[in-house]
Amino acid sequence: MEDAIRDMLETRDGLALGICNGFQALIKLGLVPHGKICGQNSDAPTLTYNTIGRHISKMAYTKVVSNKSPWLMGAEVGKTYVNPASHGEGRFVANDEWIRTLFANGQVATQYADPEGNVSMDEEWNINGSYASIEGITSPDGRCLGKMAHSERRGNGVAVNIYGEQDLKIFESGVKYFL
């Protein structure tokens, strides 16, 4: 698997997307934030249990703060999107140095926000207690994206009673990357 992933990213200029449990896999492997399989050391960013100590299932408002990732080229920087979230271990945790580095490198892709787009640490909006309200991060080149909210669970008949834009255009953007 490691050789195939390395070939996909390094030789074939591929993309990797991890949503929810997929984000957990990417971060444990090191693909986010490092862009390569290197595992984690003790001070590496990680995902852990939600601050409420149990599974959450609700709509999450996330603000796009960087479109460095090809996956987010169709999303509007500064705009807030709403997608379902459903997880028990989705809280992003990192030390201050890592958080500063991720923001400085444009690797923080999305943050939890209120419906008006204000990034928030309030548990109503930062649904799992993520540090710096981080919902999604990328590799340094942006080709690997990990995020918690389920962008794949949207559609014309899904959550029609929920106010807000739902389509981050992640999959359209991924396809366009290869065209």
- Taking CA atoms, 119 is separated from 52, 65, 89, 115, 134, in Å, by 19, 10, 21, 10, 9
Omega of the bond leading into 140 within 30 degrees of 0 (cis):
no
For residue 152, indicate whether it is catalytic.
yes
CA distance 97 to 77: 24
Name the active-site residue from 55, 87, 123, 152: 152
Choose among 125, 121, 109: nearest CA to 77.
109
CA proximity to 5, closest of 143, 151, 101: 143
Cα 160 to Cα 71, 86, 163, 164, 167: the distances in Å are: 24, 18, 8, 10, 12
Is 150 annotated in the active site? yes
Using the predicted structure, report yes or no on whether residue 118 has a pLDDT greater than 90.
yes
Q: Which of 89, 150, 165, 172 is catalytic?
A: 150
CB 155 within 8 A of CB 27: no
For the record, the structure tokens of 34 come out as 């490092």
Can you read off the two tokens belonging to residue 122?
A: 């309030």
pLDDT at residue 177 in the model: 97
Backbone φ and ψ of 151, nearest 5°: -65, -25
For 52-91, what is each residue's pLDDT tens digit?
A: 999 999 999 999 999 999 999 999 999 999 999 999 999 9
Q: DSSP per residue over 1-19, as a string?
A: -HHHHHIIIIIS---EEEE
* Domain regions of the chain by residue span: 16-178
Residues whose CB falls within 8 Å of the CB of residue 49, separated by 6 or more in sequence, listed in order:
88, 89, 91
Give the DSSP H/E element, type plus range, for residue 173: helix 170-178
Each residue of 9-44: pLDDT tens digit?
A: 999 999 999 999 999 999 999 999 999 999 899 999
Q: How does pLDDT run across 120-164, given as a tens digit for each residue? A: 999 999 999 999 999 999 999 999 999 999 999 877 777 788 877
- Domain 16-178 = CATH 1.10.3720.10: no
pLDDT at 50 over 90: yes
> What is the 3-state composition of the chain as percent helix, strand, coil, each rounded to the nearest 5?
30, 25, 45
